[in-house]
Amino acid sequence: MSAGTLIAIIIPAVVLLALLAVALRIFIRRRHLEERFGPEYERTVDAGGSRLAAERELREREERHDALEIKPLPSSVHDRYAQDWSRVQEMFVDRPSDAVEEADRLVTALMSDRGYPTEGFEQQVKDLSVEHGRTLEHYRAAHEVTLRSGRREATTEELRGAMVHYRALFDELLEDRGGQPAA
């Protein structure tokens, strides 16, 4: 074989291998994001207009999250939150709207104690999405009812649903030991 023939075979083969490597890298990165963010991946893609832009945003969320100091709760604080939640549930019987607002405050306080910034709902959602993407719809639904409750537009059944939604995220945040075994 001549040198020209070898070059004609080797260059396309190298280009093909490079393209396959790039495609594999994109596939692996996308799969990682889909698994880590769960339903939040598709939601972000739908909202972002472009898959590449959405994936860039999700990687930025990961980087921000990785810089946070998310920590497990000491047993005494864990127990206090569990008791506080029981109190909020009992409050629901007589004052459902107040109970939902208190549940919102309790979830926010728990987030803060775990190390999540709480500077606004949208940022909270983004920060939570990295580790809690599967329960984020619960938080969104509960928050929406809380806003409507503040305007006196929520029914008692919607308030009950909000409590259930808050409880889903609350339980996940409370029981997440940051990779540490439960006490």
pLDDT tens profile 65-95 = 999 999 999 999 999 999 999 999 999 999 9
Structure tokens at 124: 């909270």
**What kind and span of H or E run contains 52?**
helix 51-67
Mean pLDDT of each 10-residue bin along the chain, 183 residues long:
83 89 88 88 86 91 93 94 97 96 96 93 93 91 95 95 96 73 40
Q: Residue 133 carries which DSSP code? A: T
CA dihedral 161→46→51→70, nearest 10 degrees, is -20
Structure tokens at 9: 């075979």
> Are 96 and 156 in contact, with CB atoms under 8 Å apart?
yes
Structure tokens at 23: 């495609």
Give 172's Cβ-side CA count (13 Å radius): 16
